[in-house]
C-alpha cells in the first residue's frame, strides 16, 4: 500500500508547492489503472513528467526497460532517490520538462506517462508534440477534466488546443479521477486521456509551420467568421473567396466547426 504523500513529505520537512502544481496521487487502484492504459512491455522506455515523490514511478519501473523521471523541484530529488533506490532502471533528472529534449534520452520510440502539473498542461503538450525532435508513440496524461473534454472535442466544439493536439495524435478519454484522490485536494476533478501519435500526418513536415499559422489565425477571434479572421493572412479577397469555394467550406463558418480534414483542404487551396 502506498504511504500517504503527506507522511512522506513530512519526514523530509517538505510542504507541497501550489505554484508547481503539486497534487500527489495516493490511490493505489488509480495508479494501477493509469499504468494499465500505458500498455507497457519489457522493452519499452517511459518518460515520466513530474514524478513528485515517485508513487507512479514505482508502478511503472517493474514493467518497463527504463523510466526517465523529470522533476523540477530540487526538494523532491532526495525523496525520489530514496523511494526509488531499488529500481536500477529509473533515471531521475532534476530538470524543467520544457527544456528536456527526448531525442537525447531515447533512441526511437518511447511513451509518456504523467500526472501533469496543471499550470503548464498546454506548454507540455506543445513541447512534446511540436518543439521536441522525437514525439512519444503513446502518452497517458492525467489532466484537469475540463481540459480532457476540450482535448477530445469534435467539430462544433473544437478549439486551437484540440485542433493542434488532434493533428498529432488520436485522443481517447480514459477515466475520471475525483479530486479527493489527490493530496492536497485540487479544486477540480481530473481525467486520464490517451494520446496515440498518428503515423501519417495530414501535412508534410516542411509545411506544418504554415499550416499552424493558418489555424492560429483562424482561431484568432473565436466568434468571428473564418473568412474575416483569415483576411489578416494578407491574401487578396477574391483569392480567399475562391479558395473557400474550391475547398467546399462556407467562409461564414467559425473555426470551431472545422474538422482537421477541412483545415487541410483549405490549407491546400490557400498555400
**Binding site residues, ligand SAM, CB under 6 A:** 20-25, 49-52, 55-56, 70-73, 76, 96-98, 115, 117, 120
Of the two residues 76 and 165, which places its CB atom closer to ligand SAM in the complex? 76
E strands in the chain: 24-25, 45-49, 66-71, 90-94, 111-115, 138-144, 169-177, 182-183, 190-197
Is it true that the peptide bond before 176 is cis, omega within 30 degrees of 0? no
Of the two residues 51 and 136, which places its CB atom closer to ligand SAM in the complex? 51
Of the two residues 97 and 171, which places its CB atom closer to ligand SAM in the complex? 97
CA dihedral 193, 116, 19, 29 (to 10 degrees): 90
**Rounded to the nearest whole angstrom, what is the least distance from the CB of residue 245 to ligand SAM in the complex?**
46
Chain centroid, CA 95 distance in Å = 18
**Rounded to the nearest whole angstrom, what is the least distance from the CB of residue 197 to ligand SAM in the complex?**
21
Q: Which of 262, 263, 255 has its CA nearest to residue 223?
A: 255
**Rounded to the nearest whole angstrom, what is the least distance from the CB of residue 72 to ligand SAM in the complex?**
4
Spatial separation of the C-alpha atoms in residues 53 and 83, rounded to whole Å: 7
Residue pair 57/69 in contact (Cβ under 8 Å)? The answer is: yes
Of the two residues 27 and 137, which places its CB atom closer to ligand SAM in the complex? 27
Of the two residues 72 and 158, which places its CB atom closer to ligand SAM in the complex? 72
**Rounded to the nearest whole angstrom, what is the least distance from the CB of residue 181 to ligand SAM in the complex?**
10
Of the two residues 52 and 218, which places its CB atom closer to ligand SAM in the complex? 52
**Rounded to the nearest whole angstrom, what is the least distance from the CB of residue 159 to ligand SAM in the complex?**
23
Residue pair 160/150 in contact (Cβ under 8 Å)? The answer is: no
Which cell is 137 given? 508513440
**Rounded to the nearest whole angstrom, what is the least distance from the CB of residue 122 to ligand SAM in the complex?**
13
**Rounded to the nearest whole angstrom, what is the least distance from the CB of residue 243 to ligand SAM in the complex?**
40
Of the two residues 71 and 256, which places its CB atom closer to ligand SAM in the complex? 71
Enumerate the β-bridge partners of residue 46.
Answer: 67, 111
Q: Which of 46, 72, 26, 63 has its CA nearest to residue 185?
A: 26
**Residue, CB closest to ligand SAM:** 50
Amino acid at each position: 500500500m502506498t504511504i500517504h504523500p503527506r507522511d512522506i513529505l513530512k519526514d523530509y520537512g517538505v510542504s507541497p508547492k501550489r505554484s508547481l502544481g503539486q497534487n500527489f496521487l495516493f490511490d493505489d487502484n488509480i495508479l494501477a489503472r493509469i499504468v494499465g492504459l500505458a500498455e507497457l512491455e519489457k522493452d519499452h522506455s517511459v518518460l515520466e513528467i513530474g514524478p513528485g515523490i515517485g508513487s507512479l514511478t514505482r508502478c511503472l519501473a517493474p514493467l518497463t526497460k527504463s523510466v526517465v523521471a523529470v522533476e523540477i523541484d530540487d526538494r523532491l530529488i532526495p525523496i525520489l532517490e530514496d523511494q526509488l533506490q531499488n529500481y536500477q532502471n529509473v533515471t531521475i533528472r532534476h530538470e524543467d520538462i520544457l527544456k528536456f529534449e527526448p531525442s537525447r534520452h531515447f533512441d526511437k520510440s518511447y511513451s509518456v506517462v504523467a500526472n501533469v502539473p496543471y499550470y503548464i498542461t498546454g506548454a507540455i503538450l506543445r513541447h512534446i508534440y511540436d518543439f521536441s525532435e522525437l514525439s512519444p508513440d503513446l502518452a497517458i496524461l492525467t489532466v484537469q477534466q475540463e481540459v480532457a473534454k476540450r482535448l477530445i472535442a469534435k467539430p462544433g466544439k473544437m478549439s486551437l488546443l484540440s485542433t493542434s493536439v488532434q493533428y498529432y495524435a488520436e485522443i481517447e478519454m480514459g477515466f475520471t479521477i475525483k479530486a479527493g484522490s489527490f493530496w492536497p485536494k485540487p479544486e477540480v476533478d481530473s481525467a486520464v486521456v490517451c494520446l496515440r501519435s498518428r503515423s501519417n500526418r495530414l501535412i508534410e513536415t516542411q509545411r506544418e509551420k504554415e499550416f499552424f499559422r493558418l489555424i492560429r489565425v483562424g482561431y484568432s477571434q473565436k466568434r468571428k467568421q473564418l473568412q474575416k479572421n483569415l483576411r489578416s493572412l494578407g491574401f487578396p479577397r477574391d483569392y480567399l473567396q475562391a479558395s473557400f469555394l474550391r475547398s467546399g467550406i462556407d467562409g461564414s463558418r467559425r473555426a470551431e466547426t472545422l474538422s482537421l480534414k477541412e483545415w487541410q483542404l483549405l490549407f491546400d487551396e490557400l498555400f
